[in-house]
Amino acid sequence: MSRRSTPPPRLILERERRRCMDPMERYAERHQHLELGNLSVCASEAPVPPTAAEPEPISAPELPATDRTQHMARVFTPEAIAEAREVLGPKPTNSRDVTTYVRSVACLDRAQRDDGWRSVPWAGSMEIADPFSGMGPEFANFSEVIAHVREQWTLARHARCAGEARIEPILVVGAPGIGKSLFATAIAHRIGERLSIFSAGGAQDAMQLCGTDARWGNARTGMVFDLLSTGDSASPVLVIDEVDKIAQESTGSRDTPVNTLLDLLEEDSARRYRDMSLQLEMDASRIIVVCTANERERILPPLLSRLTEFHITSPTAEQRRAILQRHLLRLIERHRCPTGITFDEMSAEAVLATPDLDVRVLLRMVRAGFASALATESGKVILAPPRRRVAKRRIGFI
């Protein structure tokens, strides 16, 4: 057997020195920076000036002309994190407050990861193909929205740096079940970003978005901070579902969903977005916000002025056929099924002739027919229209 070689004494002393260091000192040593022009290079040791007896040091290889600011953006600044740590104060002695303190420290450590930088990989990158090219058959009635998002995507790809790349917030208005939430989810999957959905229906406060006030013992961070701190991207997708159902009776209050959304949708105020539980300021201006609504008239005018709105109509018979075929192909890819499985044309024609069936019901019918075809080992997917509920007559005296 070959004996394991003993590390040199210098390496053993270095390991012992780093093991005895304070975690914060170890973090600071690992993230020392040397400013080279506009570039920031991470170094583990301070540079030692060459002496006369030593040979001339070998020059470092030339760094690429572009730095990380081209594909990354700073979301959390060191000054904001230091201010939040100062507000947090020392570790409390009360056991009830220790849990909140430890949770807050962990959140700040997540924000400080990578010195607060987050990636925007599609900004300034001309090599990435158009991710919206295949959305036409599946979302045929969303063609206008897809064209707008593609324009925003093109502008972001031609941005000089990631800090200038931004996709404007959009509003998708249409009848229930037309596929608005499904479209927003597809955008996140297409560009490879994280997705979070805020259900605005009946929301009375903004705690879910901007966090709970730090004075509460069970304070929690908000959805915006969680998206930016736990992920690696500065441009996650935030879906505000049913924005027309936000409670309007409390709009005069300071911490309402309406006021929070107004700050988030405006670029200048979003650059100074603050999480209430940590009192931490962050740059949330690159978050891709997609709002959905059923009725435009119920949306407050200040929100409408900050959104680019699109009205989605019900898909035509040909568009519904394309949606059904696309969904069937997706099911075939995910499951083991007989080869050559197709729709039963008679049932498909009957369903397509019913214009009042929304997209959600159509997709449910495809899944049910596909499951039935797998159970019977048949090669035909039969679409059975849903049964309509008949109102029961009341029995009694009037």
Token couple for 256: 């309402």
What's the token pair of residue 23? 């975690």
Looking at the whole model, is its pTM more than 0.95?
A: no
- 159-163, 300-304, 347-351: range with lowest mean pLDDT: 159-163
Q: What domain range includes position 124?
A: 118-311
**Quick one: 244 and 365 in the same domain?**
no
Q: Are residues 146 and 198 in the same domain?
A: yes
Q: Do residues 162 and 70 lie in contact, with contact meaning Cβ atoms separated by under 8 Å?
A: yes
Q: Does residue 252 sit in the same domain as residue 372? A: no
| CA–CA dist 342, 381 (Å, integer) | 6
pLDDT mean over 120-129: 66
Other CB atoms closer than 10 Å to residue 19's CB: what's the count? 8
Q: What share of the chain is helix, strand, coil (3-state, %, to 5)?
A: 40, 15, 45
Residue 248 and residue 145 share a domain:
yes
Reported as a single tens digit per residue, the pLDDT across 54-81 is 444 433 333 343 466 677 889 999 999 9
Q: Does 125 lie in the same domain as 257?
A: yes
Q: Tell me, what's the pLDDT at 191?
A: 81
Find the mean pLDDT for residues 369-373.
Answer: 89
State pLDDT tens for residues 231-289. Answer: 888 889 999 988 888 865 444 445 678 888 899 999 999 999 999 888 899 999 999 99
Q: Are 122 and 73 in contact (CB under 8 A)?
A: no
Domain CATH for 160: 3.40.50.300
User: Structurally, how many domains does the chain consist of?
Assistant: 3
Span of 7-11, 224-228, 230-234, 363-367 with lowest mean pLDDT = 7-11
Residues 301 and 242 in one domain: yes
Torsion of CA 141, 144, 150, 154, to 10 degrees: 170
Is the same domain home to 146 and 283?
yes
Judge whether residue 338 has pLDDT over 80. no
Note whether 35 and 165 are same-domain residues.
no
**Residue 108: what pLDDT?**
93
* 258 and 304 part of one domain: yes
What pLDDT does 58 receive?
Answer: 38
127 has a pLDDT exceeding 50? yes
Domain assignment present for 67: no
In a domain, 134, yes or no: yes
Q: Are residues 272 and 330 in the same domain?
A: no
- Residue 291 and residue 351 share a domain: no
Residues 40 and 130 in one domain: no
Going from the C-alpha of 203 to that of each of 71, 94, 184, the distances in angstroms are 36, 33, 20
Averaged pLDDT score across all residues of the chain: 76
Burial status of residue 276 (CB atoms within 10 A of its CB: 0-12, 13-18, 19 or more):
buried
Checking if the pLDDT of 42 tops 80, the result is no
CA atoms within 13 A on the CB side of 148: 16
240 within domain boundaries: yes
